[in-house]
Chain A
Amino acid sequence: MGELLQRLKPRWLEKRLEPADSPAAVAASVVLAVAAALAVTVVLFLAYGANPLAAFYELFHEPFGTLRGFGYTLAGAAPLSLIALGAIVCWRAGFEYLGFEGCFVLGAAASAWLALAAAPGGWLAGLPFPFFLALAIFASAAAGGIWAAATALLRVRSGGNEVLISLMANYVAIFFVQYLVSWPMRAPGSLPETAQMPRATWLPFLWHGGRAHAGILLAVAATLAVWALLKKTRLGFEMLVMGANLRAARYAGIPAGRRMVAAALIGGGLGGVAGMTELLGAQHRLMDGISGGVGFLGLIVALLARLNPLAVLPTAILYAGMSVGADAIERRTTVPTSITLILESLIVLFVLAAELLRRYRVRLPFSREATEAKEAKR
Chain B
Amino acid sequence: MNTAFWVTWLAASVRLAGPVLAAAEGELVCERAGVLNVGIEGTILLGALASFLTAQATGSLTLSLVAAIAAGVLVNLFLAWMYVTVRASQVVAGLVFNVLAVGAASAIYRLALGGETAQRTIPTFPPVAIPWLSSLPIIGPVFFAQTAPLYLTLLAAAGAHVFLFRTRTGLALRAAGENPRAADAAGISVERMRYLGVLVSGAMAGMAGAYMVLAQVGFFREGMVAGQGFIALGIVIFGRWSPWKAVGAALVFGACDALQFSLQLSSGSVPPQLLLALPYLVTILAISGIFGRAGKPAALMQPYSRD
Which residues in A have some Cβ–Cβ distance to B below 8 Å?
1-3, 5, 17, 44, 47, 96, 98, 154, 157-161, 163-165, 167-169, 171-172, 175-176, 178-179, 182-183, 296, 299-300, 303, 336-342, 344-346, 348-349, 352-353, 355-356
Contact = CB atoms under 8 A, between A and B. Distances in A.
B92 A352 contact: yes
A183 B269 CA distance: 12
Interface of B: 36, 80-82, 84-89, 91-93, 95-97, 99-100, 102-107, 110-111, 189, 191-192, 195, 230, 233-234, 237, 271, 273-274, 276-277, 280-281, 283-284, 287-290, 293-294, 296, 300-301, 307
Contact of B287 (A168, A182, A183, A348): A168
Residue from B195, B271, B287, B307 with most neighbouring chain A CB atoms (10 Å): B287
Contacts of A171: 230, 277, 280
A160 B301 CA distance: 15
Contacts of A2: 84-85, 191
A161 B280 CA distance: 15
Given A165-B284, A345-B103, A1 B195 contact: yes
| Across the A-B interface, the 3 shortest Cβ-Cβ residue pairs | A341-B103, A158-B289, A338-B106
Contacts of B284: 154, 165, 168-169, 172
A153 to B, nearest CB: 10
A357 to B, nearest CB: 10
28 contacts: A1-B81, A1-B85, A5-B85, A96-B301, A98-B91, A154-B288, A160-B287, A163-B36, A164-B237, A165-B287, A168-B237, A169-B284, A171-B230, A171-B277, A172-B277, A178-B273, A179-B273, A182-B271, A303-B92, A338-B103, A338-B104, A338-B110, A341-B99, A352-B89, A352-B93, A353-B86, A355-B86, A356-B86
B73 to A, nearest CB: 14
Given A161-B294, A341-B103, A355 B277 contact: no
B272 to A, nearest CB: 9
A342 B111 contact: no
A336 B107 contact: yes
Contact of B277 (A175, A182, A300, A340): A175
A340 B103 CA distance: 8
Nearest to A48: B107
B102 A341 contact: yes
A349 B277 contact: no
Given A172-B284, A352-B92, A339 B85 contact: no
Nearest to B290: A158
A175 B276 contact: yes
Contacts of A167: 91, 230, 233
Contact of A349 (B82, B106, B287, B294): B82
B82 A3 contact: no
A3 B234 CA distance: 33
A342 B87 CA distance: 22
A267 B170 CA distance: 39
Contacts of B296: 161, 164
A352 B94 CA distance: 12
Contacts of A355: 86-88
Chain A at the B interface: SS class = helix
A345 B93 CA distance: 10
Contacts of A356: 85-86
Nearest to A163: B301
B294 A348 contact: no
Contacts of A175: 273-274, 276-277, 280
A183 B271 contact: yes
Given A5-B85, A168-B237, A182-B271, 19 more contacts: A1-B84, A1-B192, A2-B84, A96-B301, A159-B289, A161-B287, A168-B283, A168-B284, A168-B287, A171-B230, A175-B274, A179-B274, A296-B95, A336-B110, A341-B99, A342-B100, A342-B103, A342-B104, A345-B96
A60 B166 CA distance: 56
A87 B127 CA distance: 48
Contacts of B86: 352-353, 355-356
Contacts of A96: 301
Contacts of A337: 103, 106
Residue from B85, B107, B237, B274 with most neighbouring chain A CB atoms (10 Å): B107
Residue from B85, B99, B271, B301 with most neighbouring chain A CB atoms (10 Å): B99
Nearest to B87: A355
B107 A160 contact: no
Nearest to A344: B99
A2 B271 CA distance: 51
Contact of A352 (B36, B82, B271): B82
Nearest to A348: B96
A165 B288 contact: yes
A44 B106 CA distance: 12
A158 B36 CA distance: 22
B37 to A, nearest CB: 13
Given A160-B294, A165-B288, A337-B106, A172 B280 contact: yes
Contacts of A158: 288-290
A275 to B, nearest CB: 18
B211 to A, nearest CB: 23
Contact of B273 (A160, A164, A176): A176
Contacts of B294: 160-161
A179 B91 CA distance: 28
A179 B273 CA distance: 6
A227 to B, nearest CB: 22
A231 to B, nearest CB: 24
Contacts of A339: 103, 107
B87 to A, nearest CB: 8
Contacts of A157: 289
B273 A336 contact: no
A163 B88 contact: no
Contacts of B84: 1-2
Contacts of B36: 163
Contacts of B97: 345, 349
A160 B289 contact: yes
A300 B289 contact: no
A163 B91 contact: yes
